[in-house]
Structure 1
Amino acid sequence: MPTHHRPLGRFSTTIAATFTLVLALAACGSAHHDTAPSAESTDTTSSATPSVTTSPATPVSPTTASTGRGPMLTVTIDGDEVSPNAEEIDLDTGERLLVEIDSDRAGELHVHSAAEQLIEFAAGTTNSEIVVNTPGTVEVEDHDTTAVVALIEVR
């Protein structure tokens, strides 16, 4: 009786995707994220220059929140108190999301998109923008508290 072999292509792809997801989620627990290149964001009240770390394929450029262009996420951080709490935002693939962070401390926001992005901010007001190029649901979390500040539905 002949033996039938299943192609491993679909199975291998599933394992690779699962492994990639596990690595991306594990990166949140890591204290160091200095392997990706940085792009600048605009900080209006402190002298430190925060940055957004992304893959080279996802451009992030400085912006000012007062331009009124596109959807906006406003984040307020007071110690361990972070708001909003899981704000739902709808974006089109490739659409820019303006992010304004008003914080009493320096920190990082993690954007769990297909190419993870990192928004570093200093104490004071920091304005930045992100672009998500892959459809799906993307969490934005404060690294220090792990609070989820936004859920972005990218279509």
Structure 2
Amino acid sequence: MQRLRIVGAALATITLLGTVTACGSDHSSASSDKTVVVKITVENGDITPKGDRIKVGAGQPIDLVVTADRAGSLHMHSDPEQEFAYDKGTKTFPITIDRPGVIEVESHDPPQIIVQLEVR
């Protein structure tokens, strides 16, 4: 009888540890709800960043924050493709990407890949 109690206590402990681990996993996925901010600077004909890869979760909010000394536009190779026009100053473009993959955000003037959003 005592052996059954020990086995029962061990199973209860294993079950409890499994539950705690699952809660830990849920907590890490909750952080994917946090907005990723991508700062883009356009100054004197130069754009930064220059092709950085940023990991984001599928459906995670992303803010493309453009600070520019002139008007221009960004092009995003998503499905559907998107274009974001900006004026001189600072403008924020809130986006989300639902499908996993790598999405390029680029400029045509000057032609360059600004960031690659690696969606998981």
- TM-score, with structure 1 as normaliser: 0.53
CA distance in 1, matches of 2:53, 2:63: 14
RMSD across aligned positions (CA): 1.2
Could you say which structure has the larger radius of gyration? 2
Report whether the alignment pairs 1:124 with 2:104. Answer: no
Determine the structure 1 residue equivalent to 2:76: 111
Find out whether 1:101 has 2:57 as its counterpart. Answer: no
Q: Percent identity?
A: 31
How many residue pairs get aligned? The number is 87
Deviations 1:16-74 (A, max 9, x none): xxxxxxxxxxxxxxxxxxxxxxxxxxxxxxxxxxxxxxxxxxxxxxxxxxxxx511100
SS at match of 1:77: strand
Structure 1 residue 79: deviation in Å?
3.1
Partner of 2:39: 74
The structural deviation recorded for 1:134 is: 1.8
SS of the equivalent of 2:42 reads strand
2:51 partner amino acid? A
Aligned pairs for 1:3-152 (under 5 A) are 69-152=34-117
2:5: which partner in 1? Answer: none
> Deviating runs (4+, > 2 A) in structure 1?
none
Q: CA deviation at 1:110?
A: 0.7
Residue 143 of structure 1: how far off its partner (Å): 2.4
Consecutive unaligned residues in structure 2, runs of 5 or more: 1-33
CA distance in 2, matches of 1:131, 1:118: 14
Paired with 1:133 and 1:112, the residues of 2 have a C-alpha distance of 14
| Cα displacement string for residues 75-125 of structure 1 (whole angstroms, at most 9, x for unaligned residues) | 000132110111211111121111111101111111111211111100111
In 2, the alpha carbon distance for the partners of 1:90 and 1:108 equals 23
